[in-house]
Amino acid sequence: MKKITVLFLCTLLIFMLTSCGLKDLLEEKDKDKEASLDLGGNSSDDEDEGPGDGDEEEDEEDKDKDENDDKDKNETSGQHAIYCNDTVTVTDKTSGFETKYTLVLFATNEDGLEGTYHGNISLNYGLDASQISGLTDAPIQGLGGFSVSLQAQDVEFDVVNLDLDKYANYGTDATGDAKVVPLINGTSMALITANMSGSGQLGIEITGKTDANGGTITATQPNVSADGSGPLVIKMYMKDGLVTIQIPSLQKAMDYQSFDAILTSSSDIISQAEEQANEAFNGEE
C-alpha cells in the first residue's frame, strides 16, 4: 500500500466522506472537591489550663501535621499511571450516521505524579455504513464504511503544572486575537506530540429500490486503503485523579467532545488498567 502521511490520510478520508454526502462530522467533567480545613480554636472556658495541657495539644497538632504530610507524600510520590479506554460517539445532525472514536492510553511514571511518563497509545475511529438500514423506512442497505487505526509505542511525555496559555496554544495555528484560553479547571497538564503509524480504509456501497416495480440503484465508493505515519498532537489536563484528553485535529469532527481518563497511584488499579490496556492494544476487546 502506498505510504502517505497521517495528515494526508485524514484529508483523503474526509474528502471521500464528503463526496458520499457524509460531511461536517462533528462535558467537560471535572470533579471539584472542596477541601475543608479544621482551624480549631482556643477554649472559651474561663478555667485555667492545667500543667501539661498545652504540651499535649501541641503534641496532637504535630502528630496530625505529620500524618497529613505523609498522606500528601503518598499521593504525589511513587508509581503513578494515566489510563484511558474511552469511546466517544458522534451523531451527524444531517444524516444521522454515528461515528465512533476510541482512545486507549496507558503510561506510567515511577517517580511521582509529575514528571516523565512512558507508555503506549492507540486511536481508532470509523463509520459502519450498514447503520443506514435503520435510519430510514426505505428499503436501503449499506455495506462497508471507513475506519482509521493508529498506534504509537514507547511514547514519552511530561506531566507538569497547568499553564493555561501553553495548553491553549499547543497544537493550534491560532495567532493573536484568534487565541482562546480554555475555561478548564485543572492542576496539571501534559502536551504530547506522538509519532503515530497505522492505516485507513474507505469503501461504501449503498443499494436501494427506486420504484414499486423493484428497480434498484447502487451508489458505490470504491475501496481505498493506505498506510503511513506522522505526528499527532494530544493534550490533557487533570485534577483530583480525573483526566480530560483532547486531540485538536479531531475536535470539530468529534463535536468538541473529549476523552475521559484517570490518574492513579493505586497498585491494584494500575495492574488492572495495564492488563485491560494490553488487551485493547492487542485487539482482544
In a domain, 74, yes or no: no
In a domain, 186, yes or no: yes
In a domain, 40, yes or no: no
| 35: Cα within 13 Å, side-chain hemisphere | 4
Distances from the Cα of 62 to the Cαs of 71, 72, 194, 204, in angstroms? 14, 15, 47, 70
Question: What's the domain count of the chain?
Answer: 1
Chain-centroid distance, C-alpha 239: 14
> What are 218-269's pLDDT values in tens digits?
766 667 778 899 999 999 999 999 999 999 999 999 999 999 999 999 999 9
> What are 36-45's pLDDT values in tens digits?
333 334 444 4
> How many residues make up the chain in this entry?
285
CA separation for the pair 181, 185 (Å, rounded): 12
Contact (Cβ atoms closer than 8 angstroms) between residue 140 and residue 207: yes
> What are 67-104's pLDDT values in tens digits?
554 444 445 679 999 999 999 999 988 878 899 999 99
In a domain, 158, yes or no: yes
In a domain, 30, yes or no: no
* Domain hosting residue 260, numbered range: 3-25+80-281
In a domain, 32, yes or no: no
pTM of the model: 0.69
**Sign of the torsion formed by the C-alpha atoms of 271, 277, 281 and 285:** positive
In a domain, 155, yes or no: yes
Convert 178-211 to b/e letters by CB count within 10 Å (16 or more is b): eeeeeebebebbbbbebebebebbbbbbbebeee
